Amino acid sequence: MKITRVDLYQLDIPLEKPKRYPNKTYEALDDTIVRIETDEGHSGWAEVCPIATTYQPEHALGVRAAMEEIVPGLIGEDPTQTDRINEKMNLWLMGAQYAKSAIDIACWDLCGKVYNRPLYQLLGGRLLNKAAGYPEIEAGQPEIVTERIAQYRNEGFRHFQLKLGRGSNFDLDIARLRYAADAVHPGETLVADANKAWSTHEALRILRATEDIDYYIEQPCLTYEECLSIRHQVRQPMILDECMTDIKLMLRGLADNCFEGIGCKITRVGGITGTKLIRDVCKAAGKIMTVDDAWGADLSAAAQAHIAVSTPARTFFATYVSTYFSKVRYDLEAPMLVDGYLNTNEKPGLGVDPDMSMLGEPVRTFT
């Protein structure tokens, strides 16, 4: 079997709520969708949708630029040999894991179709009946926190992520945390995500002022070194997200005892192959992980679903499904959150058949 064609599609994903960053507000995000075709009639799909150029180094135009370097070297390769495909991509381009992830995921989707199995069966089998999702609670006034938790609880969620540190101050962040702690019920989980916004002195002050509250702190500071510097000065269990970009950093974090969990975004770490490796190391090390992605639609949600349900309960923490909150669907039968939980379907591969009328013509074709 050989790759004969790769198509790139571009899709704008409108946001339910604008995403605001220091120098730009995003009303929609630029999504790149990839289709791989073979000489035996099989095809595989994937997507990659970075959030913003000021959030992480990944950006939408970079996806399609990287494809110009990567894809010509893959024509004629066997897409079911996923490790070989990854080695080939690394020969053609250094870095750009987020772009390579789309090729990797599409190859895994294609493998499922070749073997006529849903993807989770190729990842070790089903270990969860369904995967708990979580919503983001925006960094607004403290009173909003109580309303949002009640709203999302009614939608079936029991795991809540509270955003902190965006244009706020010490008192506002502490107030948000206390409102959230009062709103969360027994058996529910609260995570406070600073999205790397705090300096070390800000993180120490806020975390020490809220030591009486039961919550996880996620990515308090920009760099791994900053997070490590406060790790053993506070009581809250720590989850690292943005600074965990590959398995080497994760292994360093394990050696330094720097975290209890990982916020793993599939396209940040190279796709299914990279996420599976991180999942298995978390399992062996007794750590927890979320199964997330930067953004996306049905293909992204499906990839998360298959990784999530093939993760042991003791390792899986929760999953954020962005398309649930942006409402863009190009396959209404694809995996989606229902009553706060994500599940796969039983179709081969990812189980997604994109509506071609929504995608339009490819913006680039490689043969």
- Kind and range of the H or E element at 265? strand 261-265
Catalytic-residue membership of 17: no
H helices of 184-271, in order, are 200-209, 224-231, 247-256
CB 367 within 8 A of CB 74: no
Catalytic-residue membership of 265: yes
Of the candidates 100, 113, 163, 287, the residue annotated as catalytic is: 163
Distance separating alpha carbons of residues 219 and 226, to the nearest angstrom: 10
Helix/strand/coil (H/E/C) assignment for every residue in 11-41: EEEEEEEEEEECCEEEEEEEEEEEEEEECCC
Closest by CA to 177, choosing from 329, 186, 168, 260, is 168
- Kind and range of the H or E element at 178? helix 170-183
C-alpha count within 13 angstroms, C-beta hemisphere, residue 323: 27
Distance separating alpha carbons of residues 270 and 284, to the nearest angstrom: 20
Of the candidates 100, 113, 196, 265, the residue annotated as catalytic is: 265
Residue 213 tokens read as 């509250």
Active-site residue set? 163, 265
